[in-house]
Structure 1
């Protein structure tokens, strides 16, 4: 009897301290960021052989692990070859997800996953079932290295006349950074692609992998293996439609607003204006490369970019934000309310109420987080910069975009810490992050009477 009581007590204690899947995913990113921080603090990681200061190392490690691109160091001039390799590894692992890579390695070695560990992997990949889980992971890794390899070769050939054999490193680094939607570059002086904006091959060689990395692996699989639109899953249809709309609308708005702006596109031929506008529409969704000085863009353009950054990429991709599918469901739900539709039907399929609630919750919590962080950062900034500039930086971190308008280098340690936390939240996912700290209740058996209230 005493033994049974002791076993029951031990079981309860074990249950109490058992990590939830969302907590495990969060801790895996924290661990990766910690390792990256230590490596970047080593003297061998910097050109001055002093290593990065702790907060700078933490910020850069978080930015790379969360494939954001915001940086407080000049990657080309401040980091050594070893430091660049550490950064590249963090980007690659962060883009695929440490849980994904660890699972693939263990599975290849013959390890059999129990149910609990499979659930953790499912959570990290936003999957609802175990069926085809390892096949999906294999496809993810295969597509990643195929796309990165192709564009690394393309960019290497393109860079060779300028950099010689160093073009191999440039090609690999920028292909990985683009596909993982990281936004880090090796051109130095925080210029991104501003001095190479007329290089259409470079824009295509970086823009296309950004798109492929941003639409998600399941969409790539459907496009490659399904012969017709009807065979695509509902998820793939929504992702393709929403991305096409966002890309087109973003391109046209940026072009219309910046075509006559002397600080950005006014002196560029029309073909170049359209190319840069399209590239910026793609990049500001989650990648972070830029072809003109964002500080000189009009305020309306900056606002449009904030919206695109907040939406971000698509699920099961290398990007952040609230995701394009979330925004699609919200907009379609609003239209359904206006139309008086009792069910939300998209492409002949019904989207459940639970998914609609999750979409609105994601949007609401994301908005609240950005507003609160923006306010705190503005206070830390002493209101030296305009509020819209601070919000731009905040949303850039939340959407794991990495675009900046000149504020990143001016943050103190507290500001860097808040932005690093926002990048982590944006990469893990706002709902996963919140669920890591909130205990969910079981569905109540008792139902209470309904009563209506007045709404706007």
Structure 2
């Protein structure tokens, strides 16, 4: 291989090549981005474009355009499919602004790398090794085999699920909204499947005034579940169909999701249907439907069918835990992921039992996966605690710490469930939440690896035991 061909193979992604032509500089080490850095910058670029578009007068339904900090916050929330907002989407944004929102949600849910890949691949572009590594990193894959087939399946499943629920919701909304039901159906289908939690009902009410609409809760809830379990799990279930043929990843995701959904439903129902809970006075069917919907939605979607601020402390605490865990890998949701918490708890149990290996469903979980689970949980906890402290300072003792932590975890898990205090914070509070949403969407490992230079030390030091516990 000659030197010129080697330089071509080591160039960065196509989006950065014009810079080399302008400067006349070859792709040296300082101009190359790690795959994780490219992923992070792709989201930053998308957020920047969304901010500019939302600041345009044509995006606002008011006489004045959105201020920069509000446009930045909403663009970040939509791109990271979070759902936290400081504007009323229905009343503050024009038709153009709503279209910008739904595009940011769709691209953010699938990932800009995924959509960009399919676009250039369809035009016949041949990906080089470094670009393939970036795609692998963005999709959490360990090899190049079947990479483009996976991306095609992701887009196919997304269009199929969103199209089905858009049609279903459109028919359901026709008696209320007439011709506008098409827009309502499409917007809420995309927002639900991408686990974004934005709605067009106005006044920051989400689904609170529709808590008796069991059909709507069931439709949006099912769409949230499909978006949250991940594309590989959907493919596994559709094609392998039998439990013993599923991959270990699929088995863990289905098992953990079932436990969290059922457990969350029973806890919310048991607490909020008694005494002065928010479900008191509803028929039993509506109590169960709202409990199940909130258990599903608070994992990563952000729609709410009752006033969270009025719920009990037990319910809020349970929601914080569910939001922190989040959805599944390679899904449209955030959080530390359900597989992470499973591997973490199973590893702790193995330590107490004196087991050398961690086995699940007849398979052994690798040491690398166990180490990553501990790292993700630790860094996620440290980030939430740090941001919680900083946001408490920004809050200035206006709200109690529980409300601040709830808002922080909601941003970290890209959930978007709020207690209504986000809009009260100044620019610093909104910037901190933007950073938290970005980290929650791109993933802790991707975020940190994009900032930290990895090195392999050739020096080996002697081992020495220390006391723990």
TM-score per shorter chain, which class?
over 0.9
Return the match for 1:38 from 28, 52, 71: 52
In 1: Cα distance, 2:98 partner to 2:241 partner: 41
Kindly tell me: are residues 139 and 13 of structure 1, through their superposed partners in 2, closer, same or farther at Cα, counting changes over 3 Å? closer
| Aligned counterparts of 1:441 and 1:321: Cα–Cα separation in 2 | 28
Match of 1:113 among 121, 124, 127: 127
Which whole-Å CA distance do the structure 2 matches of 1:135 and 1:446 have between them? 42
How far 1:49 sits from its partner (Å)?
4.0
Which residue of 2 is the match for residue 450 of structure 1?
463
Mapping 1:40-439, distance limit 5 Å: 40-262=54-276, 264-439=278-453
Quote the Cα distance in structure 2 between the aligned partners of 1:455 and 1:241: 32
SS at match of 1:436: helix
1:391 and 1:409 mapped to 2: Cα distance? 15
Instruction: Give a deviation string over 1:13-40, Cα, whole Å, max 9, x none.
Output: 8113311101100000000000000000
What CA distance in whole angstroms lies between the structure 2 residues aligned with 1:156 and 1:168? Answer: 5
Per-residue deviation at 1:274?
1.0
* 1:128-152 deviation digits (Å, cap 9, x = unpaired): 1110000000000000000000000
In structure 2, what is the Cα distance between the partners aligned to 1:13 and 1:181? 39
Change (3 A) 1:95 1:13: closer
Report the alpha carbon displacement of residue 231 of structure 1 after superposing the two structures with TM: 1.2
Render the CA deviation track for 1:381-421: whole Å, top value 9, x for unaligned: 11110001000000000000000011111011110010011
C-alpha distance in 2 between matches for 1:337 and 1:297: 38
Task: Answer whether contact 1:362 1:431 (CA < 8 A) is retained.
Answer: yes
Q: For each residue in 1:52-102, what CA deviation from the matched residue of structure 2 results, as whole angstroms up to 9, or x when unmatched? A: 100000000000000000000000011000000000000000000000000
More moved, 61-70 vs 430-439: 430-439
**Separation in 1 of the partners of 2:387 and 2:60?**
31
8 Å Cα contact 2:277-2:312 kept in structure 1: no
Distance 1:446 1:375 in 2: 39
Partner Cα separation in structure 2 for residue 293 and residue 423 of structure 1? 23
Aligned Cα root-mean-square deviation (Å): 1.5
What is the distance in 1 between the residues matched to 2:275 and 2:318?
16
More displaced stretch, 188-197 vs 444-453: 444-453
CA offsets, 1:254-299, max 9 Å, x none?
1111112535101111211111111000000000000110001111
Gapped regions of structure 2 (runs ≥ 5) = 8-23
What secondary structure sits across from 1:345 in the alignment?
A: strand
CA offset at residue 227 of structure 1? Answer: 3.2
Three-state SS of the structure 2 residue aligned to 1:358 is: helix
Secondary structure class of the residue paired with 2:304 = coil
Mapped partners of 2:119, 2:274: distance in 1: 53
TM-score with structure 2 length normalisation? Answer: 0.94
Distance 2:453 2:31 in 1: 13
Is the CA contact (8 Å cut-off) linking 1:261 and 1:297 kept in structure 2? no
Residues 340-369 of structure 1: per-residue CA shift (max 9 Å, x gap)? 111001111111111101000000000000
Give the CA deviation at 1:163. 0.4
Q: Distance in 2 between matches of 1:450 and 1:253?
A: 47
**Where does structure 1 differ by over 6 angstroms across 4 or more consecutive aligned residues?**
10-13
The count of residues paired between Structure 1 and Structure 2 equals: 449
Unaligned runs of 5+ in 1: none
- The separation in 2 between residues aligned to 1:34 and 1:16, in whole angstroms, is 24
